[in-house]
Amino acid sequence: MPAGLESRVAIVTGSGSGIGRDCARALAAEGAQVIVADINEEMARETVAGICADGGLADAIRVDLGDPLSIEAMVRTTVERFGRLDILHNNAAATHLASSLDGDIAEADPALWEATFRINVTGTMLATKFSIPHLLASDSASIINTSSDAGHGGDFGHTAYGVSKAGINALTQYTAAQYGKAGIRCNAIAPGLIVTPATADNYAGPGGDMMKRHHLTPRLGTPADIAAMVVFLASPASGFVTGQIIHVDGGLLSHQPYLADVAAARGKVTDSR
């Protein structure tokens, strides 16, 4: 069934590569006109070329989510080029900062912490802020934020990243509460482990097998899994869904933490595709 996105205009931040690229292509395949926004303009243009080759309509914009003026210009340019805005997918994040330097709290670097929040949380807030006046004119406005399972449970590292994603969850619900009656829906997708071309080698061996043990599905996630949810949340089919944090993670956070060990002890682990 078509998603009903014909004539809709969407912005997808961080769509020059990875999950964002698949999301932009999926929205365009359903008829949306897509602004591919990324700090790497060359990669954004590669995404646009792929969309256009498939018969879609898209344009590339360079955006720096650490720069309020750049974010404002992204929204303004979108409306100038396509005449409206219906869908905002706040996908971009400071993944380059979620490195070994983003460790435990006792070793936290305040500069890294602040940079992570400036891009992940403040950047998302500003994109939302500047988009709202235009989304109010749409008859089917949807904001889709990219959260993470990392915002729902502690880990040994990536502390700033995880806490910033918890902030995205709260921002999602505040936006939904404040603008729902005005016709703007706002939801977040919390991906679990998503294997991209850049990370596929990391999960081809024992590391991947270990992670599969803790999923309820027989495989790990792909960017297409996230893109499918983005299309749903962007479409009129999700018109009664707002203020939700939707986990697209193969059931990773939906069970007791010892489930994989119990299953193994009972001989229930039979497949690790």
Give the containing element (helix H, strand E) for 59: strand 57-62
Which pLDDT tens digit goes with each residue over 94-112? 988 877 788 889 989 999 9
Report how far residue 27's alpha carbon sits from residue 9's, in angstroms, rounded to the nearest whole number. 9
Query: 3-state secondary structure string, 205-245?
Result: CHHHHHHHHCCCCCCCECHHHHHHHHHHHHCHHHCCCCCCE
Q: Please compute Rg for the chain using Cα positions.
A: 19
Where does the pLDDT of residue 273 fall: very low under 50, low under 70, confident under 90, or very high at 90 and above? very low
Sign of CA dihedral 58, 61, 67, 68: negative
The CA–CA distances, whole Å, from 72 to 64, 65, 77, 265 equal: 10, 10, 9, 55
| Domains in the chain with CATH codes | 9-199+222-253 (3.40.50.720)
Q: What is the mean pLDDT of residues 18-30?
A: 97
* 161 carries an active-site annotation: yes
Query: CB–CB of 249/214 below 8 Å?
Result: no
From the candidates 161, 174, 179, 203, give the one annotated as an active-site residue.
Answer: 161
Least confident of 83-87, 97-101, 158-162: 97-101
Model pTM? Answer: 0.93
